[in-house]
Amino acid sequence: MTISPHVTATERQMFLNHYTCFRCGEHWTDVWGCQVDDECPHCGARHCSPVESEDLVVADDRSWTQPLRITKDCDMKNVLVIVSGGVVQNVVCPDGITVVVRDFDVEGVEEEAIKTEGDERFIESVWSAQ
């Protein structure tokens, strides 16, 4: 994955938390500044603890995130990108990697490249939004 070299904002720690509801069994993910309990979006059960958390790096302007530990031997299949009213730039993923964009107002990404699934957008091919 390549992220624009022009990103210079200070980074801070975030987590992509994976949850499984203890009441209904629903699975979901959410981004938080800590490994925090969440409310099930399906049945409303409160205080669901994460079953797994992934470290993320987030720019102060919330224009991008990426997993902290990426190596050439990494078997990661998803790359999370958070955009807050901005433009996704120069994101290129190799075959077999899925980009998950957590914002519906993403400029520069052609609609035919996006498949909406729940509240997430999956960009299924190699692309660069410019």
1 inside domain? no
Question: How many C-beta atoms lie closer than 10 Å to residue 39's C-beta?
Answer: 14
Q: What spatial distance separates the first Cα and last Cα of the chain, rounded to whole Å?
A: 16
| CA within 13 Å, CB half, 45 | 15
What are the tens digits of pLDDT across the range 25-84? 988 888 777 777 888 989 999 888 888 887 765 555 554 444 444 344 444 444 545 444
| pLDDT for residue 81 | 52
Specify the pLDDT at position 74: 43
Domain count, the chain: 1
Residue 109 in domain: yes
* Position 5 in a domain: no
130: in domain: no
Domain annotation covers residue 101: yes
Domain assignment present for 4: no
Domain that holds residue 72: 11-123
pLDDT over threshold 70, residue 112: no
Q: How confident is the model at residue 3 (pLDDT cuts 50, 70, 90)?
A: very low
Q: What pLDDT was estimated at residue 17?
A: 82
